[in-house]
């Protein structure tokens, strides 16, 4: 895919999605971190329902630590893998208090030290909270990278590396959210809505059926 086509793809996506941002509801960097940890293998909608009850009760590392694992589980039990996520969140909060004065660090190596935080979550935080041009490859971005041929790869890391090279510089900050929202609502997994897709003529995927 040539540079001209890549530029046009992101120009159209930016027009179709004028406010590309996370759909996880949060009012602080710490709330965003917890929401992203909880969102692994879960929907943003499901996480928002849980955090709407959790955050008014506890939205600092100290307050969540005071809940304890069982107390936290009671707030997030509607989310998949809630037991392991509760343990990770408690451990993360303890590390934030012990090592970072209760603040969420803004460096990749520090973020990835936190329990429950891998490369994808670190990329989300660096981009959304700290304004760095990173791309977090989730299932949507992995699918789009391969389906459109924008950044084909066999692993999320391979797709990420290719996207970082393929995305025009002026769209790097917004690329993650442009692609995730396009994948969530238009370029869906089972039946991509090619008939209403703003980049259908630029995409190298040939759908068998428009919906």
Active site residues: 120, 138
CA atoms of 138 and 179, how far apart (whole Å):
10
Q: What is the DSSP code string of 134-167? A: -----HHHHHHHHHSSSS--SSHHHHHHHHHHHS
CA atoms of 49 and 54, how far apart (whole Å):
9
Q: Residue 166: what are its φ and ψ, rounded to 5°? A: -85, -35
CA atoms of 82 and 72, how far apart (whole Å):
9
DSSP 200: T
CA atoms of 65 and 107, how far apart (whole Å):
23
Q: Residue 84: what are its φ and ψ, rounded to 5°? A: -70, -35
| 81 Rama sector, left if φ>0, alpha if ψ -120 to 50, beta otherwise | left
Nearest to 171 by CA among 193, 150, 192: 150
CA atoms of 176 and 129, how far apart (whole Å):
13
């Amino acid at each position: 895919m040539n540079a001209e086509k890549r530029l046009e793809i992101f120009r159209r996506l930016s027009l179709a999605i004028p406010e590309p941002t996370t759909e996880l509801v949060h009012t602080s960097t710490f709330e965003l971190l917890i929401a992203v940890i909880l969102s692994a293998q879960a929907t943003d909608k499901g996480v928002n329902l849980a955090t709407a009850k959790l955050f008014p009760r506890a939205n600092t590392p100290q307050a969540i630590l005071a809940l304890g694992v069982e107390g936290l589980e009671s707030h997030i039990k509607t989310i998949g893998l809630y037991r392991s996520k509760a343990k990770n969140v408690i451990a993360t909060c303890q590390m934030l208090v012990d090592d970072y004065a209760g603040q969420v660090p803004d460096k990749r190596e520090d973020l990835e030290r936190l329990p429950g935080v891998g490369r994808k979550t670190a990329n989300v935080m660096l981009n959304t909270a700290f304004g760095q041009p990173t791309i977090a490859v989730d299932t949507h971005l992995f699918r789009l990278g391969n389906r459109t041929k924008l950044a084909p790869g066999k692993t999320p890391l391979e797709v990420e590396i290719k996207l970082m090279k393929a995305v025009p510089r002026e769209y790097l900050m917004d690329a993650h959210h442009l692609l995730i929202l396009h994948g969530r609502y238009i370029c869906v997994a089972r039946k991509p809505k090619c008939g209403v897709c703003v980049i259908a003529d630029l995409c190298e995927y040939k759908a068998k059926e428009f919906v």
